[in-house]
Every structure is written in structure tokens, then in C-alpha cells.
Amino acid sequence: MAFDFRITHIDGRARRGLLKTPHGEVQTPAFLPVGTQGAVKGITHRDLEGLGTEILLANTYHLYLRPGSDAIARRGGLHRFIGWLRPILTDSGGYQVFSLAARRSIDEEGAHFKSHLDGSSHLLTPEKAVDIQAQLGSDIAMVLDECLAYPADVEAARTSMERTLRWAGRSRDRFHSLNTSANRVTVTNPGQAQFGIVQGGVHPGLREMSARQTVAIGFEAFAIGGLSVGEPVDVMYDIVGHTTTFLPNDRLRYLMGTGTPGDLVESVARGIDLFDCVLPTRNARNGQLFTSEGRLNIKNARYAEDDRPPDPACTCYTCRTASRAYLRHLFLAGEINAATLNTLHNLNFYLDTMRRIREAIAFGRFESFRLAFHQSFSRRPTDS
């Protein structure tokens, strides 16, 4: 099956659609659990499938350094290596270079960095990011972009955005030449698609310029990067709503690295189709549960003898079988099942929220869903 995206319903600016990839279909708007090392921390692929997960994100930086993209290509690609046969999206590795690597420096060629694992030296160029993802064989590959720290003034953001555009052109050229005879890179998924990334910080003019020129290069779809990096949430929503107006209506739109449940609803309202974020899984391991009535911190003493499930409105395995008192005990005891049970619930909450969003769009009642969601989710004062 080749890459394809069709919008099936429109409600205001919110869209419901169907994404087709070589490894199956994804109903959008969709949320991608983050499988950093080829696994979502705390739970098995079996549980992810049980939750109805249709697509995973894997981190190129981590897999390139360990076990190595050559080794994964020799195993037949990432799907076969990790035993997940549904769609996978890989990032370019750039974000982790900027956030994790020791001693990194950026120039026109690419990102020079030292591995955070063993100090070895590496150069991640736009071409190298394409090659590594071709070896991994994800269904969706991302271009290498420059990740700017927030806040950045307009001149710094412009310089960075323009470099990202030049890198996007090089990435697309490399992607198109992957299947030529001169290419010596193992391509484990010939049906892979490549997404461009719009940058430009919090500057609307730069976002428009970046969107127009990234679209002109021509990618299967487009992502918005460089948000959720510390800017106020209403600024993020404004930039998302502004940027999507310059993206083609018939192409999928991916908001990278975002966000809270409220962010998902607000970004769908501004025309976003795809999300990824570590929040549900990372917060689960820290004892924070997302529920239909807001956030719940299971460490809190008030739950010591609370026999209710974490979220009475939830039907996940955790909520069917575990009380708040039990989950609090597991967390305080450092029991590994605390992470597993909390992660199961949080991912179910995120995936179920996306299901309800898709249903609301299909029935033309997204606005009433949006209103009810915010009223319900903000009912409980955050207790963490």
C-alpha cells in the first residue's frame, strides 16, 4: 500500500481523515505514543495494540547510536526488528542532537556532536538523516531541521529558518535519489514518505515564509516544529492556527512534540491531524494520571485509602482492576508495575480522547465536544 491521505469529514477547521501507509491505515486526528528506543517505556507492543494504537514514533538519534541503523537494516528494518508491524514515524534525530548530545555545533553542513553514550564523534547532515531513516524503514521520515532555543529574536529565528529550508531542499533531493543505482544505502521500506517541517519560532511572518517555501519544495505532508519549547500556550495556539492557513488543505499536518490533552483539542480546532508527545508516558512513570476530570497525582496522601479507580469514566485495564490506593502503594514501593499500569491508563486516555475527537468531527459537533472537554478536564484543580 502506498502513502495516501484523504480527508473524510470537515467541521469548522477540524478535519477527520484516513492516512494510508505501507504498514496499514491510521485514522486521523491521531496521537503517536513515543517509542524512543523501539519500545514505548513501561508497556509491551501487545498492550499498545490492545489500546488500539495505530502508529508509533521512534527516535532516530537513539536507534542510530544504539544498536545502529546498519544493524537494524540487516534485520530487515525497524518493523521487523522490534516486532511492530503497524505504521511507524521516525524523527530526524535533530531534536535529540540539540537536547541530549554533548558538545554539539551546527554549521551549514549539519550537526556535529558527541554521543551521550560513549562520547564518540558524529556528523548528522540532512542527507545522513534521510539515509538512516531509509535503513530503519519507517513509513514516515522527517527532514533534519534546526531546533532553535526559545526565546529567539526575529533575526536569529530567520537565520535558523532559512538554514532549515536549505536543509529541506537537500533532504528532498537525497530522498528522491535513494532508489537510484548510485545509492548504496539499504532501503528497507520503499513506500516510505517524507514530511517537511515548518520553522520560524513565534514570528508569524517567518512561519508564513517557511510554510510557503517548504510547501514549494514538495513533500508528502508537512509538520510544524519548534513549538512547545517554553512559549506561552496562547502564543503556541496562535502560531499553529496561523501556520495551518499556509499549508495545503489536502495534505496531512503534524504538530511535533505536543502536548497536553487540551493542546490536542485546541490544535485539532486549528487544523492539525497528527501529534506525538512523551507527556502521557513520562508523566505516568512520575505518578501523574490524566483523567476525564483533570490531572491526578497518585503520590498524594489523599489517595491512601481511596478505593475508586483512577478515572471512573475510563474502561482501561488499569481502571477496571486497580484502585487509587493500590496504584499509590505500587508507586511508593517503587514497583515496576506502577509504571506499566499508569502508562496503560494515560495512553488509553490520550487515544480515547482522539477517538472522541474523530467521532465529534464526523457528527459535526466538534465545537460542543471542545467546550465540554475543557469544562470536564479543568474540573479538578491540578493536585501535583
Residue 344 · residue 317 · CB < 8 Å: yes
51 lies in the binding site for Zn ion (CB under 5 A): no
Cell numbers given for 13: 477547521
Identify any residues that bridge with 197 across adjacent strands, giving them in sequence order. Answer: 223
Contacts of 205 by beta carbon, 8 Å cutoff, 6+ apart:
none
Candidates 136, 202, 255, 319; binder of Zn ion (CB under 5 A) is 319
Closest by CA position to 44, among listed 31, 33, 59, 28: 33
Question: Which residues are 46's β-sheet partners?
Answer: none
Which SS3 state, helix, strand or coil, does residue 378 take? coil
Contacts of residue 306, Cβ cutoff 8 Å, sequence gap at least 6: 323, 324, 325, 328
Site for Zn ion in 337-366 (CB under 5 A): 345
Q: 127: part of which helix (H) or strand (E)?
A: helix 126-136
- For residues 260 and 323, which CB has a smaller minimum distance to Zn ion in the complex? 323
Shortest distance in whole angstroms from residue 100 CB to Zn ion: 31
* Contact status: 174 vs Zn ion (CB under 5 A): no
207 binds Zn ion (CB under 5 A): no
The minimum distance between CB 369 and Zn ion, in angstroms, equals: 20
- Which amino acid, 228? S
Please state whether 27 falls in left (phi above 0), alpha (psi between -120 and 50) or beta.
beta
Stretch that binds Zn ion, among 116-124, 139-147, 218-226, 319-327 (CB under 5 A): 319-327
Q: How far is the CB of 39 from Zn ion (least distance, A)?
A: 21
Give yes or no for residue 62 binding Zn ion (CB under 5 A): no
| Catalytic positions | 91, 276
- Least distance to Zn ion, CB of residue 43, Å: 13
Q: Smaller CB distance to Zn ion: residue 40 or 316? A: 316
Among 168, 316, 338, 360, contact with Zn ion (rule: CB under 5 A): 316
Question: Is the CB of residue 51 less than 8 Å from the CB of residue 30?
Answer: no
Cα 225 to Cα 137, 183, 256: the distances in Å are 22, 29, 5
Q: Hey, what's the cell of 23?
A: 504498514
Nearer to Zn ion, 147 or 319 (CB): 319
Nearer to Zn ion, 147 or 314 (CB): 314
Q: Which is nearer to Zn ion, 200 or 261 (CB)?
A: 261
> Which residue among 32, 152, 314, 339 contacts Zn ion (CB under 5 A)?
314
x/- site string to Zn ion, residues 256 to 295, per CB under 5 A? Answer: ----------------------------------------
Binding site for Zn ion (CB under 5 A): 314, 316, 318-319, 345
